[in-house]
Structure 1
Amino acid sequence: MTSAVTTDNSARPGYGQLLRTPGALGFVLPGFAARLPFGMLTISILLLVQHTTGSYGSAGIVAAVTGISMALSAPLMGILTDRFGQSAVLVPVVLAHAAAVGGLAALALADANVWFLALAAVPTGASVPQVGPMVRARWAARLEGSPLLPTAAAFESVTDEFTFVVGPVLATALCTGVHPAAGLVTEATLTLLGGLLFAARRASQPRTHAPSATGESRSFALSHPGLQVLILAFLGIGAVFGGMQVSLAAFSAEIGNPGANGLLYGVFAAGNMIAGIAMGAVAWKIGPRRRLILGYVGLTAAASVLWAANSVILLGALGLVVGLFIAPALITGYTMVEQLVPANARTEAFTWLTGSIAFGQAVAVILAGRLTDAHGSAYGFLVPMAATALALAVLLALRAKLAPKAPSRIVNASVSAPVSAAAPVSTSAGASAPGSEAAAGPRDRVNERGMGHRVPVTVD
């Protein structure tokens, strides 16, 4: 026992240690295969509908309906997943998504009216499988109370960004080089195969939380005030993604170099990936609530000057900085779910955040598109500026709601792990001795020391 604790104490939390978690690769790899198509969906719809209708406006409407439908359906999918299990929900969902995408592609190729395409976009978006939140829920269940949890959140953010870099490139190549519908067909095929492979990894999925004879009540994630604040804040992140997509494309067209759009957005996404990788390697000494607010301060400051950029180099540099600040806010928000929401509602909580990003992105695409058409790309960049400023104001006004409310739950969750002699943690709920760290120290200290790891104490 002593040697095992010593080994844990000397190990620095990192990606290598994270991926050595028993069973991790079994769900990480198929999870990535199932998530890659998500980065292909919007651009594939835009390219196909624009090809068949000749209108970017019509293509934008269909894409926006898809995003809004996904945002509205994602929390329901999360509730069902927590109730019935990931595999039980994922299998019918990926089958429905493949059928819905096939129907949308067929209507587009048949030159259907844009309103019929928008109607077909509803089931297409509503059936997007929430594999990302499912993977995060598996990490949360496997690493509950561990200092590796922020590393897992950083790893997932990097994975998401990688899909949003590779997915659009792959979809564009297929739509322009093979067939206008090839992107959607490939997206549906990969979603179906990857989703079924991920669903087959049943051993690592979190346990379901069905009502039982013991009287355990079902906790709905949205009932927790801290998650409500995060949902509002994540609308700002979604607005950055949507506003940047439209405004960068418009800026590139204005300077007579449409090809610069891919480079500029790639630099923006690269900043997010770099910061995500760094987040997983840093042992933070400040608490997650303060990290979240500082991340939004930097994001708001960077987004507020995008409108003034007048060259590719300057806009690329500013886009890189914006990306660097998105990752800390995004990763920290996902990490805080473990502290703010009970285990029986975490998949639902993750889908609320994912849906919030999608909704913010869809609204920003519409607003930035209208402003750009009327006044130019500089006005489109005002959308991420305003959205991040509002998100920061919400965080500052409601920051008290982000404080963990039940430290005894975390103590109970970690008592089964090795505990060093220097960390006396009570094994009964809320029964820590007066003056002990469980009673007087911050929640993070109870959580991390209870797992037997020597990790810097966080102060918020």
Structure 2
Amino acid sequence: MEKVTYGAVLRAPGTIPLYVAAFLARIPMMAVPLVLTLLVVEGLGASYGQAGIVAAVETVGAGLGAPWRGRMIDALGVRRALVPSIGVLFVVYPLAAMASFAWLLPLAFVMGLFLAPVHSIVRVSLAANLPSSHHRSAFALDSVMAEASFIIGPAAAGALVVAASPEVALLAVGFTVALGLLILWWLDPPTRSAEATPAPPGPRFGWVTRDHLFLFLVSGGAMIALMATDLGIIAVLRELDAVGLVGIVYLGWGLSSLVGGLIYGARPASVRPTHLLLAMGVLTMPVGIAHAPWTLALAAIPAGLLCAPIMTACSEYIAKLTDEARRGEAMGWQATAFTVGGAIGSPIIGFAIDEWGAAAGFATGGGVAALIALLSLAGQRRDVAPVPAK
């Protein structure tokens, strides 16, 4: 099997500008939930419960909008698909910065509904313009850069809120996302290979196979495991009266995912997403037994190493299974699966933490993820035939 290096991916025409534009757009996008929460709590003087309602409304909008936005990429190309998102950034974000709580709810829904499909654009473009043998490394690099955005974005936004105000931070987030999207619009990365053919006529969801459905289920399961670690870290540190160290623990968790993504992308062969999810769920379950901040940081590393790899593997297999003419929509449904997994997992994990303590949050989320992996292993085909390399 051909060994593909990251250098080979980065030397492909247009790849570096695509990564840079996506990185610039994702950094502030990762900060939107934090900024909205602080806008409600600090700017409007409302409760965290009300902030949670705003976040839920934005999440519902994002979940509903992702497949539709992906279909726009397939049908219209990148530029026309991005125009509505750019318009919302210049109109809705300034309105949200001035809105009352009642008006913020519909505005948050619109923000989610028109959330820029950066994930779909990058993955579809990489899949279309690189040989299939390069997809694993290319997607891994994208996952690593997304992890870096997650590390940088909320921290930078939080500092801006402290230095200025939540309203200023929301405007800055909107402006910087728009800057990244305008660069993507200017680049206009192709989403079809030269030899691609139009989508064949057929039923609306005729492209969806059983394996697609299980891959979407695995994507949701991965988000449940991630939410278990996300919420569990905060809960453990609260029990230890060491919430001030949350940034250090999160940094170690994020860096371990980044390292895991680089290692996975350099592998000569793929690993089935179901196997990765099973390992991730099993490794997440015992993290909560840590009884000191430094042991918590270390305990989160093994599961953290699998975060970027499982995101990469799910996208890689979806790209293998899906015709080029439908990949944007398929990646959009994957984004919805991530959203639904987080929306379902958060209250379940939160209930477990409230009833039985922080350790139960890790055990519950990891256990649910492992069960989903076992269900998927039983239901998927033994092998997924790859699309022939171009």
Asked whether the 8 Å contact 2:207–2:326 carries over to 1, the reply is no
Q: Determine the C-alpha separation between the residues in 1 that align with 2:308 and 2:206.
A: 23
Is 1:140 aligned to 2:137, yes or no? Answer: no
Q: Determine the C-alpha separation between the residues in 2 that align with 1:401 and 1:226.
A: 10
> Compared with structure 1, are the counterparts of its residues 354 and 253 closer, same or farther at alpha carbon in structure 2 (3 Å cutoff)?
same
Cross-structure match for 2:378: 397
Offset at 1:23? 2.0
Cross-structure match for 1:42: 33
Cross-structure match for 1:323: 304
Report the 3-state secondary structure (helix = DSSP H, G, I; strand = E; otherwise coil) of the residue aligned with 1:121: helix
Report the 3-state secondary structure (helix = DSSP H, G, I; strand = E; otherwise coil) of the residue aligned with 1:381: helix
Is 1:81 aligned to 2:81, yes or no? Answer: no
Cross-structure match for 1:274: 259
Offset at 1:265? 1.6
| Residue number among 317, 340, 355 corresponding to 1:359 in the alignment | 340
Q: Determine the C-alpha separation between the residues in 2 that align with 1:193 and 1:76.
A: 23
Cross-structure match for 2:86: 94
Is 1:252 aligned to 2:243, yes or no? Answer: no
Cross-structure match for 2:53: 61
Q: Note the 1:219-258 alignment, pairs <5 A.
A: 220=205, 223-258=208-243
1:336-361, CA deviations, whole angstroms, 9 ceiling, x for partnerless residues? 12221111111111121122112212
Offset at 1:69? 1.7
Report the 3-state secondary structure (helix = DSSP H, G, I; strand = E; otherwise coil) of the residue aligned with 1:379: helix
Q: Which moved more, 1:133-142 or 1:32-41?
A: 32-41
Percent identity (aligned): 25
> Compared with structure 1, are the counterparts of its residues 357 and 295 closer, same or farther at alpha carbon in structure 2 (3 Å cutoff)?
same
Asked whether the 8 Å contact 1:300–1:388 carries over to 2, the reply is yes
Larger Rg: 1
> Compared with structure 1, are the counterparts of its residues 323 and 172 closer, same or farther at alpha carbon in structure 2 (3 Å cutoff)?
same
Q: Determine the C-alpha separation between the residues in 1 that align with 2:217 and 2:363.
A: 19
The answer for unaligned runs of 5 or more in structure 2 is none
Offset at 1:17? 1.6
> Compared with structure 1, are the counterparts of its residues 244 and 50 closer, same or farther at alpha carbon in structure 2 (3 Å cutoff)?
farther
Aligned amino acid, residue 169 of structure 1:
A
Report the 3-state secondary structure (helix = DSSP H, G, I; strand = E; otherwise coil) of the residue aligned with 1:283: coil
Asked whether the 8 Å contact 1:171–1:183 carries over to 2, the reply is yes
Report the 3-state secondary structure (helix = DSSP H, G, I; strand = E; otherwise coil) of the residue aligned with 1:139: helix
1:318-352, CA deviations, whole angstroms, 9 ceiling, x for partnerless residues? 21111112232221111112221111111111121
1:255-303, CA deviations, whole angstroms, 9 ceiling, x for partnerless residues? 222211111122111111000011122223xxx4x53233122201111
Cross-structure match for 1:438: none
Q: Determine the C-alpha separation between the residues in 1 that align with 2:246 and 2:173.
A: 22
> Compared with structure 1, are the counterparts of its residues 21 and 208 closer, same or farther at alpha carbon in structure 2 (3 Å cutoff)?
closer
> Compared with structure 1, are the counterparts of its residues 360 and 204 closer, same or farther at alpha carbon in structure 2 (3 Å cutoff)?
same
Q: Determine the C-alpha separation between the residues in 2 that align with 1:183 and 1:370.
A: 32
Asked whether the 8 Å contact 1:234–1:356 carries over to 2, the reply is yes
Asked whether the 8 Å contact 1:27–1:204 carries over to 2, the reply is no
Q: Determine the C-alpha separation between the residues in 2 that align with 1:87 and 1:207.
A: 17
Q: Determine the C-alpha separation between the residues in 2 that align with 1:254 and 1:44.
A: 26
| Residue number among 171, 176, 182 corresponding to 1:190 in the alignment | 176
Asked whether the 8 Å contact 2:276–2:310 carries over to 1, the reply is yes
1:409-452, CA deviations, whole angstroms, 9 ceiling, x for partnerless residues? x44x63xxxxxxxxxxxxxxxxxxxxxxxxxxxxxxxxxxxxxx
Cross-structure match for 2:247: 262
Is 1:291 aligned to 2:279, yes or no? Answer: no
> Compared with structure 1, are the counterparts of its residues 126 and 403 closer, same or farther at alpha carbon in structure 2 (3 Å cutoff)?
same
Aligned amino acid, residue 337 of structure 1:
I
Report the 3-state secondary structure (helix = DSSP H, G, I; strand = E; otherwise coil) of the residue aligned with 1:124: helix
Is 1:378 aligned to 2:355, yes or no? Answer: no
1:26-78, CA deviations, whole angstroms, 9 ceiling, x for partnerless residues? 32222221222221111111222121334222212211221232122101110
Is 1:312 aligned to 2:320, yes or no? Answer: no
Report the 3-state secondary structure (helix = DSSP H, G, I; strand = E; otherwise coil) of the residue aligned with 1:336: helix
Aligned amino acid, residue 272 of structure 1:
S
Cross-structure match for 2:163: 177
The answer for unaligned runs of 5 or more in structure 1 is 1-8, 415-460
Offset at 1:207? 6.7
Asked whether the 8 Å contact 1:276–1:327 carries over to 2, the reply is yes
Q: Determine the C-alpha separation between the residues in 2 that align with 1:121 and 1:61.
A: 10
TM-score in terms of structure 1 length: 0.78
Offset at 1:182? 2.8
Q: Determine the C-alpha separation between the residues in 1 that align with 2:182 and 2:344.
A: 32
1:186-213, CA deviations, whole angstroms, 9 ceiling, x for partnerless residues? 211111111111011125443799997x
TM-score in terms of structure 2 length: 0.91
Q: Determine the C-alpha separation between the residues in 2 that align with 1:203 and 1:322.
A: 34
Q: Note the 1:189-228 alignment, pairs <5 A.
A: 189-202=175-188, 204-206=190-192, 220=205, 223-228=208-213
Asked whether the 8 Å contact 1:218–1:344 carries over to 2, the reply is no
Aligned amino acid, residue 80 of structure 2:
A
Is 1:117 aligned to 2:104, yes or no? Answer: yes
Q: Larger RCO: Structure 1 or Structure 2 (Cα < 8 Å, ≥ 6 residues apart)?
A: 2
Question: How many corresponding residue pairs?
Answer: 389
